Amino acid sequence: MSSVSLKTFLNPKYWYAWPVLSLMVLLSWMPRRVLWLLGSGLGWLYYWFPSPACRFAARNIELCFPDLDAKARRELVRCHFRLCGFAIVSLSVVWFAPQWRIKKFITLRDWHHVEAVYASGRKVVLLAPHFIGLDIGGMRASLERNFVSMYRQARDPLLEYLFQRRTRYGAVVVERMASLKPIIRNIREGRPFYYLPDQDMGERASIFVPFFGIPAATVTTLSRIAQSTNASVVPCITRLLPHGQGLEVRFLPAFENFPSDDPEADARRMNVEIEKWVREMPEQYMWSYRRFKTRPNNEPSLYKK
């Protein structure tokens, strides 16, 4: 991970960063209700501006919830972006606030499932689906045990500096294009791996298994890492609480009999579980990225205008 310090922004080329950083520090001390009003308002405004993110979100919800009528789908998309706005301004808390405020802002539930795995002598992979608060939940979990996760290096120094703030309490991040060796080494050293596997990584890196009944390019990395590190998979779900009450990170019991000897069966099982959690709070899944971008057998894109 390349290091970006505040000295970088002394260069006139990067002076634009100072107002942003000042605003983020100010937001990090705002009451939760104020963050909710600001964030949800920004998200509501964003919903009304035509953008690829809004189009992809609407299309994904149409594909995954065909039984909803057009009005219900629009309301779901609108609610989704209001929550996205709240999640974005809430990042200021985990990036700049002290530990005591982070712990007050984000509630941890059932962490004992993680400690039970370590007590049994196994390692831990935290399965963190793409819910919109996942970066915030990951930062909160890292205060219990320093974990390892993957990230994509940002070209913009300001974004890279903000991403680096996730490591200020000891978490380890590995560039996503690197090999898995640093990840495996950190898992074996006792760090939980905070893993986001529900991404379309292209046909070469994936197999096609159903997600909401649609063939979706799905990586088999979860079962391979669990197998190679003697790790149990503990689901980790981050939920934004209603009306700006903060966030909640919930840990579920470790998967039983996982991984199996069949990577495809493991990928199917993972998608079934993620789909179940998404149905519990559909407005909080990250619908704005193209989960069904890669199509099998050169099928036409599901995202054409």
Q: Which helix (H) or strand (E) holds 138?
A: helix 134-141
Integer Cα distance of 165 and 96 in angstroms: 8
The CATH code of the domain that includes 29 is 3.40.1130
For 129, the domain range is 6-298
Q: Which helix (H) or strand (E) holds 79?
A: helix 70-96
Is 1 part of a structural domain of the chain? no
Is 204 part of a structural domain of the chain? yes
Q: How many domains does the chain have?
A: 1
Per-residue pLDDT of the chain (305 residues; tens, 9 = 90+): 568 899 999 999 999 999 999 999 999 999 999 999 999 999 999 999 989 999 999 999 999 999 999 999 999 999 999 999 999 999 999 999 999 999 999 999 999 999 999 999 999 999 999 999 999 999 999 999 999 999 888 889 999 999 889 888 989 999 877 778 999 999 999 999 999 999 999 998 899 999 999 999 999 999 999 999 999 999 999 999 998 899 999 999 999 999 999 999 999 999 999 999 999 999 999 999 999 999 999 899 999 86
Is 305 part of a structural domain of the chain? no
Find the helix packing angle between 70-96 and 52-64, rounded to 10°.
120
Is 205 part of a structural domain of the chain? yes
